[in-house]
Chain A
């Protein structure tokens, strides 16, 4: 990689200044005249039907503008209710006090129904049905068997529907294995997808167009769904989202799916269309806690090895709770931990059966890692057990078997490829960096050597996480303008939810054009002024949007150089752009200012701007091997995480938690931003020891920790995270060699944590959170107690 001027530098955040002055406008910060407020009536039962309802008193209350129920808005509200907090009605009024008063005047007659609140109970025979008339447990509908491996490419050529994901011959694989390690019953608790900014929006129909102010992960996608849900044309909706107060995947809105927690958009949108006034619908923290949960899995793992430790066969069985419906796709990412991706190197036989399960808890959403952390928790804890059985150091076993650059990714994405190449790995190097930092060789000791009340432990886990899905339905667009004063603008709707995409995309433009970063502006705030950009999920922004931005800037650059070449009598190839203008590479004295290149301009004409554009209809040609469409390189997030901690064997408390997070990012386009992404490893620590989980009263399904006090998030005092950003060059799937960086940090933490606790006290914990009670029970100091609804 040639020297760069902007890429690779920790330049100032493009929209950082308003974030630190309070001028940044998140959706709730926009002021409107005559703003109407909404309050929502929510179901108090985990399963119920509405037998009768009377809203007349609420409608008669002065100041009430609209009462919405399943009778007048059947697309949003339904008479069948499936969790505590499910939507019953909404009141739109002159202020929130009136709306709240009106809620109390709505009379509802409920018919209570049987319910199920626990994943294990939901999959047991004879369990009550979360949705009447429908099984709770569903096999993944895209299970497929891969076969017909090409001897030259090692890629699978045939994909056939099956009742599991797999390849090879699983029975034969285990029959031939010399060592088999098996653990059933891993449980990752159902956890809340967090965000500082609660869900909400303000809709303002101005008589022509609905302006929708909200947070967003994918402005155009959300607008498209919203327009359909509201029954208006896409041309009549403008989604405005300049700032989003974090999201981590969980706040991604899909208004067309009535089970997904994006009802605020439909409610405010419909109300504003009906009333021709601005309508605010924002959730309180408690309401926010009633939507958007995730994780919640049971996993069984069985792995076969040669006696030297080569992993040859893996059987993976996985149940994922999706609550009252919600997002059913995360189980596919649990497969990333298996011989499909993370351990694809030696694994010849694989069976992965994945399922999603309904309960009468809060609907699930996709969230940081999108199923991968749950699979990794189970597999990477089992790998630790295997290392002990095989008499190998945990690092050695992983290095022998983890994915390497060019290995096969059998990702089982329903939309796209059969299998592909992993564009770069570097996991072994990540393990080395972490081990050196912690002096692993000297400090790691088997738990049998540990004594005393406070015992120190160290654990490790590796991870692979998706980085966007190549193929149909995954594209992104960009426009790059160059102006006669030598400034440029990137026009692109990529959402910046804190992960730094606005900054990084502008760096790419500055780099390609050869302009200072400060001279690249950004137009990104709404759908009316931007072309389509991909939803930021699967940590794909730098890759899928990155190519669009890069190519749009290249297009603009070619046009500008072409314009200048005509005036200078050269070819465009002989020219380059610099801060002052365009110059001849061979004769630096010869050149044009930007103004001269553009030519005379005035009120009535002239060339006022150059517009470069590109649609990255992924995969970009650079991601193909020798241009063959079926030989694809896919980037992955990948790395290793180490956890060091102390366990108090008298109290079961864990303290002094230190997370060493090492990730190969290929090229850090902005080192500080990348480091910031690695710091999110802290989220796993919350699940491990702050006892984060969905606790509902088994009698009536009420959430018992619906706030930031009882559902704890890590503060500055809870642990230390040490980020190590590795830059191993050579990843061909990105114009600057960057691979993804975002969700990975959340993936390995629970496994590394469980392994560290085992290393401290010799107790293997396979259920999260790792509470003092579980630790003491493991030590035999108290009676193990079953926990409902974990």
Chain B
């Protein structure tokens, strides 16, 4: 019964370290493919036009709203979603800090916000407050929990620096 589009190309996407071949329609966004084809529903779609940041993932290490890019264009790139952060149940320092500082109220913005924070810390391991605010400037938290979120990013940066030094 489904009306098939003329072309549904098969692409290979690398998500959280695993590469998978799948057929996607050319107009499908990355957020749609992650949520509906991969079942990775951590990234939320709240605006569909890159204005809220809830669907943020890392694409080759850069925090990117996944609703704004097409899945077919992501071949050969490394995509990391919120589900790729914890390993065997051990939380990433950002996730730990989010719990410690009460970074999530309703939690709907948290996955995207955490990925934006990770995008910052990958480039800038020791950010100042203005750099944190700027990096999170594209992520809305309508619970208005920014003071807690900023505290969580600072705390995670300290913890990650400590771990790096010991490592």
Contacts and interface: CB of A to CB of B under 8 A. Distances in A.
Interface size class of A (residues with CB under 8 A): 35 or more
Contact of A680 (B39, B81, B143): B143
B114 interface: yes
Contact of A682 (B46, B52, B81, B144): B144
B31 to A, nearest CB: 12
A526 interface: no
B86 to A, nearest CB: 6
A198 B44 CA distance: 11
Given A21-B82, A21-B91, A709-B51, A26 B108 contact: yes
Nearest to B143: A498
Contact of B136 (A243, A500, A673, A716): A716
Interface string A477-503: 000000000000000000001111000
A708 B140 contact: yes
A72 interface: no
B95 interface: yes
Contacts of B103: 20
B86 A680 contact: no
Contacts of A29: 35, 41
A246 B132 contact: no
Interface stretch (B7-15, B69-77, B145-153, B158-166): B145-153
A499 B108 contact: no
B99 A12 contact: yes
Contacts of B144: 679-683, 714, 721
Contacts of B43: 22
B104 A16 contact: yes
A147 interface: no
A194 interface: yes
Interface in A694-719: 707-709, 713-717
Contacts of A673: 102
B114 A196 contact: no
A22 B112 CA distance: 9
B53 to A, nearest CB: 9
Nearest to B135: A716
Contacts of A683: 144
Contacts of B42: 21-23
Interface in B105-124: 105-111, 114
Interface in A247-299: 247-248, 284-285
- Most A Cβ at <10 Å: residue of B3, B46, B142: B142
A246 B108 CA distance: 8
Contacts of A675: 102, 147-148
A196 B134 contact: no
Nearest to A496: B106
Interface in B88-108: 91, 95, 98-99, 101-108
A359 interface: no
A471 to B, nearest CB: 30
Given A98-B3, A679-B145, A714-B144, A17 B107 contact: no
Contacts of B145: 676, 679
B47 interface: yes
Contact of A244 (B48, B54, B106, B148): B106
Given A13-B99, A497-B106, A715 B139 contact: yes
A246 B51 contact: no
B142 A31 contact: no
Contact of B98 (A20, A24, A244): A20
A196 B140 contact: yes
B152 to A, nearest CB: 9
A31 B39 contact: yes
Given A19-B110, A243-B107, A715-B136, A679 B146 contact: yes
A212 B22 CA distance: 31
Q: Which among A22, A247, A498, A681 has the greatest number of chain B C-beta atoms within 10 A? A: A22
Contacts of A245: 44, 46, 106-108
Given A12-B99, A17-B99, A707 B51 contact: yes
Contacts of B150: 716
B41 A285 contact: no
Contacts of A716: 132-133, 136-137, 139, 141, 146, 149-150
Contacts of A12: 99
Contacts of B40: 22
B24 interface: no
Given A21-B86, A679-B148, A715-B137, 16 more contacts: A18-B107, A19-B98, A20-B98, A21-B95, A24-B107, A26-B108, A29-B35, A31-B41, A94-B1, A98-B2, A196-B109, A246-B142, A284-B48, A497-B106, A676-B143, A716-B139
17 contacts: A16-B107, A20-B91, A20-B114, A21-B42, A63-B1, A95-B2, A196-B109, A243-B108, A245-B107, A284-B48, A672-B148, A673-B102, A679-B146, A709-B49, A709-B51, A715-B140, A721-B147
Interface of B: 1-3, 35, 39-49, 51-52, 54, 81-83, 85-86, 91, 95, 98-99, 101-111, 114, 132-134, 136-150
Going nearest first, the 5 A-B pairs with the smallest beta carbon separation are A22-B42, A498-B106, A19-B107, A245-B108, A498-B105
